[in-house]
Amino acid sequence: MKKDLGPMPAVCPMPVLIVSAYDGDGRINLMNAAWGMICQTDKIALFIDEDHKTTQNILLSKAFTVGLADRKSIVPADYVGMASGNKVSDKYARTGFHAVRSEHVNAPIIDELPVTMECELAEVVKTDSMYAIVGRIVNVCAEEGIIGDDGKIDISKTDLLMFDQFRWSYNVLGDRAGKACSVGKALM
């Protein structure tokens, strides 16, 4: 039997996304954005507030990166979700992260994050109930150690963090349960 819990964000788990962009002076700002999702094969939507420093930097630079946080980056990943770039001028420096400039877009790539999507600003969606930054994914870069023999990212090698919205905790991505678009064939 199910029990009613009332309205809540019940999509779980959510990836821990570290969004990075340069300001007008070339300084890096970054934030933890748990509410983001692939919205086409080459686009990502970030449901973030308009007043975030990172959002304002994206609007200015027209580019950003989205890195996937892992177990090793949990402390700085959590910190950039708590500290506001509008209030903490050295937010990036406090993380201990190291960054390089993307070769594909005008945005920083955080070295410590195992997977990074390099994005151009494609669209801003603003309605009464939503504000979203939509990026066109220009390139994905990944640490060599997490790429399988088939040339694809093997998430079992990543220790990617997932945000549990029910308990406000971080979990690590679990075991493979089955192959998508395959295990259901028995019912076809």
What DSSP line would sit under the chain, residue for residue?
------S------EE-EEEEEE-TTS-EEEEEE-SEEEEETTEEEE---TTSHHHHHHHHHSEEEEEEPBGGGHHHHHHHHHS-TTT-TTHHHHHT--EEE-SSSSSEEETTSSEEEEEEEEEEEE-SS-EEEEEEEEEEEE-GGGB-TTSSB-GGGT-BEEEETTTTEEEE-------TTTGGGGG-
> What pLDDT is stored for residue 178 in this prediction?
84
> What pLDDT is stored for residue 179 in this prediction?
86
> What pLDDT is stored for residue 173 in this prediction?
84
> What pLDDT is stored for residue 174 in this prediction?
77
> What pLDDT is stored for residue 176 in this prediction?
81
Fold observed for domain 14-187: Pnp Oxidase; Chain A (2.30.110)
Residues of the chain with pLDDT under 50: none
Residue 159, Ramachandran bin (φ over 0: left; ψ between -120 and 50: alpha; else beta): left
> What pLDDT is stored for residue 13 in this prediction?
85
